[in-house]
Amino acid sequence: MSVRYAVAAPAAVHASAQAAGVDAYTLTAARFWATSVALLGLAGLVIGKMALTRSARRIGDGGRRQAIVALVAGLIAVVGGALNLAVADGGPGTGNGVVGGALALVLGLIATVLGRLALARSRRTTAPADQPTG
C-alpha cells in the first residue's frame, strides 16, 4: 500500500502547486494565445456573415474578398485552437487556455463554413453572362 501513496503524492503536489499559482484573472501565455485566436475566429465569423449577406444582395464583387478573409481567418482560428487544446495539460481554470482554445475551434469552424458558402455564392453571381451558372 505504500507504493500507491508514493505515486499519488507527487501528482497531488503538482496539481496543488499549479492551481495555487494561477487564478481566474491571471493572463498566461496560453490564455493570451487562446484569446487572440478566439477573437480572430469571431472576426472571421462576422466578416463571413457580412460576405454571405453581400453575396445574397449581389453588390460589388459579391463579397468574394470578404469570403476569402473569413475563410483564412477561420482556418487560422481552427488550427490555433486545436494546437492550444493539444498542448494543454490541464482542464479549465488551470491557465492553459482550454476554454479559449475550444471557443476558437468552434468560432473558426463557423467562420470557415460561412466563408466557404459566401465564396461559392459569389462565384455563382459573378459568372459571365454567356456561360451557364448551374
User: What are the tens digits of pLDDT across the range 25-44?
Assistant: 777 888 888 889 999 999 99
DSSP conformation class of 1: -
User: Measuring CA to CA, which residue among 52, 30, 34, 53 is closest to residue 107?
Assistant: 34
Q: Tens-of-pLDDT digits for all 134 residues of the chain?
A: 455 555 554 444 444 444 456 676 777 888 888 889 999 999 999 998 888 887 666 656 667 788 888 999 999 999 999 988 888 887 776 767 788 889 999 999 999 999 898 888 877 655 555 555 55
User: What value does the mean pLDDT of the chain take?
Assistant: 76
Which CA distances in Å does 45 have to 16, 35, 50, 69, 127? 38, 15, 9, 10, 26
